Amino acid sequence: MTKDTILCTSTNKKPIIALDCDGVLLDYHTTFAQIYEQVFGKQLTIVSPKSYHARDMYGVKFTDEEKVEFERIWDEHGWRKMPTHDGAVEACHLLHQAGYELVCVTAMPAQFIEHRLENFRLHGFPIDKIISSAINCT
């Protein structure tokens, strides 16, 4: 593809904008703290505000057992209930109204795509397609 090529779907010929979700449209770090409190009954404090990973931001070190329990609750609730970043829904609506098809590209596990779509619908995002780049290893 050249830099002048516009990616379009085969069905509606709208130009596509691919958006990341976690940390861009949705507040992954806040959800991490909420799930942590739900699982362990402790509120987290930010210790490293510029950290990429939520564990590092809050200084969390899981034991193997804690990680399993946290991930069990995260997988059940985390992908479905993430709050938005301020202005994210409105910005997506402006892009959609300008004629763009919005697609979410994420590294989250593909088995949780329906949870993410549920989360998008809850907030009113005009996004109906999610592409997971996660590699599932068994």
- Say if 55 falls within a structural domain: yes
The answer on 32 and 58 residing in a single domain is: yes
Q: How many whole angstroms separate alpha carbon 46 and alpha carbon 36?
A: 13
- Say if 104 falls within a structural domain: yes
- Say if 106 falls within a structural domain: yes
- Write the pLDDT tens digit of every residue in 20-78: 999 899 999 999 999 999 999 999 999 999 999 999 999 999 999 999 999 999 999 99
The answer on 32 and 22 residing in a single domain is: no
Print the domain residue range for 100: 16-26+84-132
Q: How many whole angstroms separate alpha carbon 9 and alpha carbon 53?
A: 33
| pLDDT given at position 10 | 54
First to last CA, the chain: 34
- Say if 138 falls within a structural domain: no
The answer on 74 and 39 residing in a single domain is: yes
- Say if 66 falls within a structural domain: yes
The answer on 104 and 36 residing in a single domain is: no
Per-residue pLDDT at 91 exceeds 50: yes
